[in-house]
Structure 1
Amino acid sequence: MLLLVQVTLTLWVSWARGQEITCDPPIIPNGDFAPKMNQYELDDVITYQCGNGFYPPVLGNTTKCSLAGWLPRPRCVRKCSFKSLLHGYSPVTEESYVQGQSRTVMCHLGYGLQNPQNRMTCTETGWSPPPRCIPVRHCDMPIFENARAVITGKPFRLNDTLDYQCLDGYENRDGSTKGSMVCGEGGWSHLPTCFKSADKCGPPPAISNGDITSFPLKEYPPWSRVEYQCQAYYELRGPTDVTCSYGKWSKPPRCIDPCVISEEIMNEKNIQLKGKDNKRYYVKTGDIIEFICKSGHKAVTSKESFQAACREGTVEFPRCE
């Protein structure tokens, strides 16, 4: 049986040689070879060199043209060294790894690799991630109110996501019973705000001569804030905004009427505005208006009365005769 196999192999090799087996020049990323030829015959041997930082994966840097192509396959792979780790535990002696191999690293407390894992891999461009332990920003497990965490764990690394589920009968601001928050540079992107539907508020209260500064909604989640503004010349009195709390809005502000200084009133009192035309004039509450007598008229009220103050839509006018 052994003799038959040897005879068959000999005949097959002889047939292969009769077919003039050749090899194309090899393609070796990060490497080069010699001698350079357009075609290589069976059993031809070439020597190749790898670029800086790259090495053959096996001993020796030669390859032979065979019936199966170039053997051993010419390759240049990256070699990564590991000898020190700032803010981490370094190896006793320098270690070498080839492309595709990984190594576990141990960083000091409060430090970690750039990715959320503790392994780095030797790649064509070197270690990924680099062997550097950097300060790790993290988020602690938040305190949940009317909700529970779907995924538990502590602490959470930067960009980690934590899912939460509102308790039965509760929902979050967008009306859903589920939500997610992300651990960022300043902590969690938001905290769960699950509340009962009955705690929502309807449209904010209307005020005379004023309105809210935002587009009105049909419903507002608890602790929503809405800001008010008054029409021109009206003075806002009280808090500028209201807050939704347990289905009710806090007390809204008022818009105080301005004082209207009309030409008819000034003609009746024989007075005119100091330094201004005798036309309709609007004054905010608290402002001072200065008057003088019209030409040919004398004051019959006190000197102080010619500096009148506007008080919530009313003003005490001076008088001349």
Structure 2
Amino acid sequence: TEDEWSPPPRCIRGRTCSKSDIEIENGFISESSSIYILNKEIQYKCKPGYATADGNSSGSITCLQNGWSAQPICINSSEKCGPPPPISNGGTTSFLLKVYVPQSRVEYQCQSYYELQGSNYVTCSNGEWSEPPRCIHPCIITEENMNKNNIKLKGRSDRKYYAKTGDTIEFMCKLGYNANTSILSFQAVCREGIVEYPRCE
């Protein structure tokens, strides 16, 4: 400045990362340096027969301001799973990956009105997925089928009604018709998409 010097600069120690902080399970770093400067990228490799969750046997990590970037885990290739099996009338709740590490879990869900039977989740173990669930068909009560049997839904005015397996559907005769099947048949139970209609004459 006009009458005096501006404050002198300060030299501060640059951020570094240590090789000793790297812990890649079933993998290694081939470089010989022990200290790395900020933004330095180094290569790693998995042991033979091992790979990361995305199927790669090598890759890189970077020295960042708060330490090394996320360090991978190399797993035995024979223990990994591919995408989980598809199911009819349903699917997974997340985007599918090409490869899953052991003990990964994936959740399933069914389409509307379908009932999930079994566990919502499958688990990857020893290279295979556990048994996936089933999506059970609903019973679809239609006006056409009710008209054929001269019946209607009891206490409802729906022209089409969806019932899940195990649900009880109550029917009654239309005005002017009498029951032609047992009284118990008017409380029909949905069985995996099938329902036996009572009949009125």
8 A Cα contact 1:199 1:221, kept in partner = no
Shift in Å at residue 181 of structure 1? Answer: 9.4
8 A Cα contact 1:179 1:192, kept in partner = no
Q: Supply the distance in 2 between the matched residues of 1:143 and 1:173 (Cα, whole angstroms).
A: 16
In the TM superposition, what whole-angstrom CA distance separates every residue of 1:205-232 from its partner, at most 9, and x where no partner exists? Answer: 2222222333444x21323433322222
Task: Note closer, same or farther for the CA distance 1:312–1:225 as it changes in structure 2 (3 Å cut).
Answer: same
Q: Supply the distance in 1 between the matched residues of 2:86 and 2:125 (Cα, whole angstroms).
A: 17
In structure 1, the partner of 2:101 is 222
In structure 2, the partner of 1:252 is 132
In the alignment, does 2:112 pair up with 1:232? Answer: yes
Q: Supply the distance in 1 between the matched residues of 2:48 and 2:82 (Cα, whole angstroms).
A: 23
Highest relative contact order (Cα 8 Å, sep 6+), 1 or 2?
2
In structure 1, the partner of 2:47 is 167
8 A Cα contact 2:115 2:164, kept in partner = yes
Pick the structure with greater CA Rg.
Answer: 1
Task: Note closer, same or farther for the CA distance 1:296–1:281 as it changes in structure 2 (3 Å cut).
Answer: same
In structure 1, the partner of 2:38 is none
In structure 2, the partner of 1:271 is 151
In the alignment, does 2:175 pair up with 1:286? Answer: no
Shift in Å at residue 292 of structure 1? Answer: 1.5
SS in structure 2 at match of 1:267: helix
8 A Cα contact 1:212 1:229, kept in partner = yes
In structure 2, the partner of 1:95 is none
Q: Supply the distance in 2 between the matched residues of 1:311 and 1:144 (Cα, whole angstroms).
A: 53
In the TM superposition, what whole-angstrom CA distance separates every residue of 1:221-274 from its partner, at most 9, and x where no partner exists? Answer: 323433322222111111223233333222111110111212232223221012
Task: Note closer, same or farther for the CA distance 1:144–1:28 as it changes in structure 2 (3 Å cut).
Answer: closer
In the alignment, does 2:26 pair up with 1:146? Answer: yes
SS in structure 2 at match of 1:290: strand
SS in structure 2 at match of 1:311: coil
In structure 1, the partner of 2:73 is 193
Identical-residue share of aligned pairs (%): 53
- Report the number of matched residues: 181
8 A Cα contact 1:220 1:244, kept in partner = no
In structure 2, the partner of 1:26 is 3
In the alignment, does 2:114 pair up with 1:206? Answer: no
TM-score for both structures, normalised by structure 1 = 0.44
In structure 2, the partner of 1:67 is none
Shift in Å at residue 278 of structure 1? Answer: 5.8
8 A Cα contact 1:164 1:192, kept in partner = no
SS in structure 1 at match of 2:116: strand
In the alignment, does 2:175 pair up with 1:295? Answer: yes
8 A Cα contact 2:26 2:46, kept in partner = yes
In structure 2, the partner of 1:62 is none
Superposed, 1:49-198 pairs within 5 Å as 145-148=25-28, 165-174=45-54, 175-178=56-59, 180=61, 192-198=72-78
In structure 1, the partner of 2:39 is none
In the TM superposition, what whole-angstrom CA distance separates every residue of 1:73-129 from its partner, at most 9, and x where no partner exists? Answer: xxxx9xxxxxxxxxxxxxxxxxxxxx97x9xxxxxxxxxxxx99xxxxxxxxxxxxx
- 1:307 pairs with 180, 187, 191, which one? 187
